[in-house]
Copies of this chain bind each other. A is one copy, B any other.
Amino acid sequence: MAQTQQVKDLAAARAKTTFPVIDLTRYIHGSDEKIARRRHLASLISNDPVFSNDARVGLSRVQDVKQGLAMSLRLYQLKEEHNLTQEEMLTCMDFVDELLPVGLHETAFIPIIYAQGSDEQAKYWGPLAEKHQIIGCYAQTELGHGSNLSQLETTATLDRDTDQWIIHSTTFTASKWWIGGLGAICTHALIQARLIIDDKDYGAHGFIVPIRSLKDHRPFPGVKVGDIGPKSYGGFSKIDNGFVRFENYPIPRENMLMRFAKVTREGQYIKPPHSKLAYGSMVLLRSHMVRGAGMTLARAATIATRYTTVRRQFHVPTSRKDAANPGLETQVINYPMVQSRLFPIIAQSYAMLAAGTKMRSMYESMLSELMKGDISSLAEVHAISSGLKSTCSTIAATGVEDCRKIMGGHGYSYFSGISHLWSSYVPSNTYEGDNFLLTQQSARYLLKQIKVATTDPEKVTPFSKYVIKTIDQEAFQAERCSVETVNDWIRPEVQLAAFEHRAGRLVGDLAIAAMQEGMVWSDLNLECWRLCHAHSQYVLARSAIEGVASVRDQGVTKETVRVLKRLSDLFALHTIQASLGDYLEDFYVSPNQCQSLRQQIKNLQDALADDVVGLVDAFDFPDHYLSSALGAADGDAYQHLWDAAQKEAINQVEVVDGYKEYIVPILNQHGAAKL
């Protein structure tokens, strides 16, 4: 069969790439060995019928969860069959691209047992969980409490006589809710409950609580457990998020996790030695989420870039000539309206990946310091990770849906691949710290740095140095952007100065507002939100710039450095443009500079146009993982869309189910037609 025009178009666009794509694949995924290993693990999933993309769509809720169970079992079988390490199995789970009923067993239950259980507990429960002879979930959120852990209403009350905890849902709103793996599969739950001894409340602690019998999977007496129902937008469809209520349900005293706090046989509560260490794992989780935001947006960008390259619509001339095919309509990706939305999304993807790498290395050096008892970097790393989590997951969720819109009508087909991606991603804006609440913490941290700057400027932490400049308000207010020509905008120091100035001004304003008499902190949470995102944007821009330097040091081609630099510039300038009002308001940027900024952004978009297909190819997503008719690597979008539709259950019969029951009575309600 002859190649379709779409296949030709994508191949032609790919051929224009100016840099070796493998350079950037290495930048993102590491050594050639790592890349090969990753591809191999992906193939284990894509070659297995249980994980077929056709097998997961159009199911009922009951079928969905059953399919999630089938995928869970198959994943464990693959681990055995291919002798995978735990880490490799988790990589495979990523490629499954579904939150599975056993997902939180692996990523929360097991790690928490080792982190918060005593040595004996780890020795007893760890192997049981690792061999999934028991399956656990992590139950914190309640019907009435999510963000505010201190007000959880589930209690664990010590019964000294029987040496047991009595787990109890004290109110209706104490019902545990949203717990992944609880609805159908788990045998045990790690329950967060307020620990009570002799009417004294010691706050939330973790307890291992048996939920369902290992004999027949029935819930134990005193446990009311079930599934909370479907989630929004078809997301999380394969996982059994559940609820549970306890009615004076006894468990052994030893089931309290006792690495830190302890309760003795005598009922004595022993306080944990220190509390800050727990932050470490939160930082790690959030640094994963920064990279995750980058990878998520990268997938959507891949799909949208490829599809808009092969989609042609209207005979409208654009600045980009399509000389080879004068008779054809214009490729959608050549319209400035598309470029100005899509190219910054590619740049954001790369910037977030750079920040993920940065966060990871900050986490690792912090960890080795912590081991030596040095907690000096903890506060900054924690504040940055909170802020980045909020900013990056917001950018990614918005950007993925923007990619769908960029694709026009076909973007709304399930087979675009965006639906599954976005619907499963969007709750990340709320979990692991609500994106709005998180900004309060980062802002408080920066306020503290202002105090440090006034008393002990050398102690200001590395990413907050800019607050020092705000101390001399007169000099600070006189700061102006140094741009004179269009090309000044691509100087990294100019970009960073702008980000620093904006964040500096916002932290200064916040400090002044917070000192006003009668001011209630919560009245300032909008200002905190603005400040936190300004700071995160600065961290992102700095990470992107450092990313360019790092590839330069790796001896890649100069074309690779050039394209990554352009992306870094586009990220910075697009971000500055989005908050130009802030820069104009205190005269940091002038109206003329606004114009040259817009011009430079256009220049960058023009310069990147030949490379965007290569840039998304570099992410190295296999077709099965993209699961997109429109974004497949071969570009044959319409053929894939057609093929996907033909496999639909509805199309397997000639006359639809419901014809006799419903269509015939509709047609005959007023007598049959006489044609």
Contacts and interface: CB of A to CB of B under 8 A. Distances in A.
A645 B214 contact: no
Contacts of A405: 429-430, 435
A612 B666 CA distance: 44
A123 interface: no
A139 to B, nearest CB: 14
Interface stretch (A145-153, A293-301, A460-468, A552-560): A145-153
A222 interface: no
B414 A231 contact: yes
Interface stretch (A192-200, A276-284, A368-376, A520-528): A520-528
A337 B527 CA distance: 9
A62 B594 CA distance: 54
A581 interface: yes
A642 B143 contact: yes
A218 B654 contact: yes
A227 B414 CA distance: 13
Interface string A329-346: 110000111001000000
B672 A184 contact: no
A226 B638 contact: no
Given A132-B670, A650-B62, A638 B581 contact: no
Contact of A667 (B60, B62, B187, B659): B187
- For chain A, the bracket of interface size reads 35 or more
Nearest to A67: B658
A567 interface: no
Interface in A272-319: 312-319
B650 A233 contact: no
Nearest to A440: B337
A355 interface: no
A412 B314 contact: no
A436 B337 contact: yes
A146 B143 CA distance: 45
A642 B319 contact: no
A656 B184 contact: yes
Contact of A233 (B234, B408, B641, B673): B234
A313 B427 CA distance: 19
A217 B659 contact: yes
A65 B658 contact: yes
A219 interface: yes
A476 B361 CA distance: 54
A73 B412 contact: no
A213 to B, nearest CB: 10
A126 interface: no
Nearest to A79: B669
B525 A666 contact: no
A411 B232 CA distance: 8
A671 B584 contact: no
Nearest to A237: B234
A646 interface: yes
B230 A414 contact: yes
Contacts of A235: 412
A649 B317 contact: no
Contacts of A429: 405
B585 A591 contact: yes
Residue among A63, A187, A217 with max Cβ neighbours from chain B (10 Å): A217
A131 interface: yes
A214 to B, nearest CB: 6
A229 B648 contact: yes
B581 A657 contact: no
Contacts of A483: none
A240 interface: yes
A661 B173 CA distance: 35
Given A62-B650, A69-B658, A232-B419, A317 B584 contact: no
B655 A132 contact: no
B650 A184 contact: yes
A128 B409 CA distance: 32
9 contacts: A69-B662, A133-B671, A133-B673, A146-B408, A148-B313, A178-B409, A235-B412, A318-B523, A336-B522
